[in-house]
Every structure is written in C-alpha cells, then in structure tokens.
Amino acid sequence: MSVAPHRSVLLEESVQALAVNPNGIYVDGTFGRGGHARAILARLGSAGRLIAIDRDPDAVAAARALAALDPRLTVVASPFGALSAALRDAGVSGRVQGILLDLGVSSPQLDTPGRGFSFMADGPLDMRMDPGTGESAAAWLARADAQAIAAVLYEFGEERFGGRIARAVVAARADSPLRTTRALADLVARVVPTRELGKHPATRTFQALRIQVNDELGELRRALAAVCDLLDGAGRLVVISFHSLEDRIVKRFMRDEAHGPRFPKGLPVTAAQSCGRLRLVGKPRQAGAAEVAANPRSRSAVLRVAERLP
C-alpha cells in the first residue's frame, strides 16, 4: 500500500506567525516529515538555527537525512513534552525566538497500516508514536478493565457510547484478544447504535486510544509549561491543534499566561508581579476552503499564536 505524501497544515500561516529572524534560533517540536521545518530553514540565514524534535523513528530518520544536508538543523529524538530538557542540552534555553507545535498524527502514520493508527486498513493495533517504547493499544486493551476503557473513551474521544464499547471489548477479549485495527473497528461498528453523518463509528474510539497510548495531552501540558522559560523576549509560540481537547488546553494556557498570576483580592503586589508572560497575537485561524479541499485533514485545524513579553 502506497503512503500519501504528508501535507503540512496551515504551512504558510504558521511559519509567517513565527516572524522568523534570519539569525534566530527556532524549534519545530513536531518534525513529522519536515514541511514546516523546510519552510523555516528557507527563511533562516547562515547564522540561523533550527532544532527539530520528534519521537517517531521514521520522522527522526527523515529529519537526520535533512540535517546531513543542512548544518543549521539539529535533530533531537524525543517527545516534545521533554522540550525543556532538549533545549537545555542544546544550550539554547531562554534564547529561542520561536517554537512551533503541530499536534496530532501525521499522514504517514495514518496511512501506514503497520503503525495501527487507522481503521481504514487492517494492521496491528499499535498506535504508538514510538513503537520501541511504551504499551501498544492492543496491550492496554488486553489489561484495562471496562471502567478504565470507558473513562478513556469518554474523556479523550468524547464518545457517548464509551461504556457500551468498553463492555464489548472486555467480553470479546475473553474469547480472543483484540490484536488488529479491523477487529476493533468492526467491534465498535457492531455495538454503536447510531452513527455520525460522514464519520466511521470507530473514529472517536481510535482517537481516544491514540491519545491514551501516547499520553498526548500530558505531553502538550508539559511542553506548554516550559515555553515561557525557553523563549527570548518577543519570541513566538505557534500551535496547530486538531481537536477540541488539544485546542482547549492551548487556549486556556495562552489566556492564563496573558492574564498573569491571580492574587487574592487586597494582597499588595507590584505591577511587574501581576503582569502576564505572554500576549495573544491575532485571532485563531483555520484552514481556508482551498486547503480543506486539497487536504480534508486540515478541516479541524486551529492555529493559535502568542508572543513572549520581556
């Protein structure tokens, strides 16, 4: 099965939002197949530097192939939640002019059956961003009880039939473990009583399990908690999210950092103590009609931008 080329979502908008300084230091926290990274490198001068981070071995290999041709690129094999440690080791903490996070799963991951991210083709039920570490979706479903499975489906997939699906999983594995994407997708299709228009009934279940297996929301929270200490004055944070759970975390983080610390009423504080560390830049942006038509996966993308205050 051929894998469709990855199309970076909101490419021009996100790189433009970074306001690239040709001599600056930038971070692509989710390299993928390098669409955003190449666009940033094209705007950097000879003294500029880009640090690319990814935990997917295929993405890391693609990044290292690019780095072999461009000495301005440094590659770090790591989850982006470890952003602080990666930039500390690179010696650039507090000196970064821009951080880009393109969240979610890439087209090569979705379109490669052996990775187990999609119900569109049969493959092992894996879903790990880094198949060499952690627990696969199949392994987690084999040991989690119905209550835990239902909780994950409700919380990470907003699946209203989570309890019904969880009970069906536990009943099915008593006879035979769920080892493939098709087995899980077929099970969900059998037990979900109603279907959302234009959506496979297993869409929310697969999203939820992927988030659980990769601790995606935890990685996002850890990365965001570090960015204000990593960015230089006027450095930009640019985040592209693909579902409401991610976007809600990003929106609240930027809003809270723009507002500043909340002190008890009447407590004497200075203006410096009460001001925020970020300012919001522009309004959230979404892909235009032409991009959605060319790349339907961009339909749910939301771009948010914030700038570090001195």
Question: Which residue positions form the known binding site for S-adenosyl-L-methionine?
Answer: 34-36, 54, 80, 102, 109
Output the CA–CA distances (angstroms, integers) from residue 82 to 54, 129, 286, 298, in the order listed.
10, 15, 28, 26
- Residue set of the binding site: 34-36, 54, 80, 102, 109
